[in-house]
Structure 1
Amino acid sequence: MKDPIDRTGLRPRFWERVPLKQMNPREWEALCDGCGKCCLNKLEDADTGEVVFTRVACRLLDDDTCRCAHYDVRKTIVPECVVLKPGNIEEIAYWMPASCAYRLLWEGKALRDWHPLVSGDPDSVHRAGVSVRGWTVPEFDVPVEEWEDHLIEEEL
């Protein structure tokens, strides 16, 4: 018997039972907790491959909602934007935030208690203090050569 799907297109607690590659598009999108961390510019050490986060946000990040202001057309505006999909998570997971639902599930870990799918509240990510709300700087305000001055520590 197939899992029931509610009016939102989400199967109950799908993230605990459905492999990433078998999620429907609504389930895949619902995994995003809305923290905005994936929209922070990152620096990667060419020698070690180490990725560090900056508080320099992509030009499309809405600092209030922690969402992309032009999500559906982001690749046309920011061609270097990486679109996370079930088929490329293996290559991309290393630069995703440690708290990212996609990365956690790919690594076989559970979602955090503050994740909106677990809490039932889309603002729980902000109340838990794990979103970028209110502390980013726009990428056009900081020259690339100064991004190192804006490094942040990512939660493990």
Structure 2
Amino acid sequence: MTDDRSLPFWRTKTLEEMSKDEWESLCDGCGKCCLHKLRDEDTDEVHHTNVACRLLDLETCRCSEYATRFRKVPDCVSLSPALLREIDWLPPSCAYRLVREGKDLPFWHPLRSGSDESVHEAGISGRGRIVSERDAAMLEDHLVDWPGAPMTARQRQSRRK
């Protein structure tokens, strides 16, 4: 029999039971939730882009104005357990989604690895693959199919050049 006290908080608590600090620590810093999405009016299908909110730091994949983001971007989404039951656009790698689905965090998640860089090293984040909305024109020109997948070896190699 496993002692629940030896398990990490994300395996023993529901999202609703987590403290604010525990909730915030689930964010892996991939930056994918800050990418613009397009929803097809006819099919309701979500199409992902590689265009990031202007506040997203493209290197760290974290919000550069997190504490005051709603003043600068009023339609910024504030994730909550209730909202997670309604939205369908979080990538499959998202810790909030994984915990909601009763799954464990992957090896590259900073809570497991102990390093904020592990999400980038594993090719999960948007680092090297995203552009700021300030530099993008039409969102339709920036559709991608990678939001839930790690970078391929070829993508990592071309990023280093």
TM-score, length basis structure 2: 0.83
Q: Specify which of 103, 125, 129 is matched with residue 97 of structure 2.
A: 103
Tell me how far 1:86 sits from its aligned partner: 2.0
Q: Specify which of 127, 136, 155 is matched with residue 148 of structure 2.
A: 155
Q: Specify which of 20, 34, 43 is matched with residue 25 of structure 1.
A: 20
Task: Map residues 140-151 of structure 1 onto 2, 5 A cutoff.
Answer: 140-143=134-137, 146-151=138-143
Question: CA RMSD of the aligned region, Å?
Answer: 1.8
Q: Specify which of 42, 48, 55 is matched with residue 50 of structure 2.
A: 55
Q: Residue 58 of structure 2 contacts residue 132 of structure 2 at CA under 8 Å; is this kept in 1?
A: no
Which segment is superposed worse, 126-135 or 20-29? Answer: 126-135
Counterpart CA distance in 2 for 1:148 and 1:29 is 31
Counterpart CA distance in 2 for 1:46 and 1:65 is 33
Aligned residue for 2:82, secondary structure, equals: coil
Structure 2 residue runs without a partner (length 5+): 150-161
Counterpart CA distance in 2 for 1:149 and 1:100 is 25
Q: Specify which of 29, 37, 44 is matched with residue 34 of structure 1.
A: 29
| Corresponding residue of 1:8 | none
Moved over 4 A (4+): none
Aligned residue for 1:141, secondary structure, equals: coil
Structure 1 residue runs without a partner (length 5+): 5-10
Counterpart CA distance in 2 for 1:141 and 1:133 is 16
Matched, 1:46 2:65: no
Aligned residue for 2:85, secondary structure, equals: helix
| Corresponding residue of 2:81 | 86
Cα deviations across residues 83-138 of structure 1 (Å, max 9, x unaligned)?
A: 0012321112x111111000111122221111111112211100000111122111
The one-letter amino acid of 2:124's match is V
Counterpart CA distance in 2 for 1:12 and 1:71 is 30
Q: Residue 30 of structure 2 contacts residue 119 of structure 2 at CA under 8 Å; is this kept in 1?
A: yes
| Corresponding residue of 1:7 | none
User: How many aligned residue pairs are there?
Assistant: 145
Counterpart CA distance in 2 for 1:136 and 1:41 is 11
Aligned-residue sequence identity (percent) comes to 55
Tell me how far 1:50 sits from its aligned partner: 1.4
| Corresponding residue of 1:117 | 111
The one-letter amino acid of 2:143's match is L
The one-letter amino acid of 1:114's match is W
Matched, 1:14 2:15: no
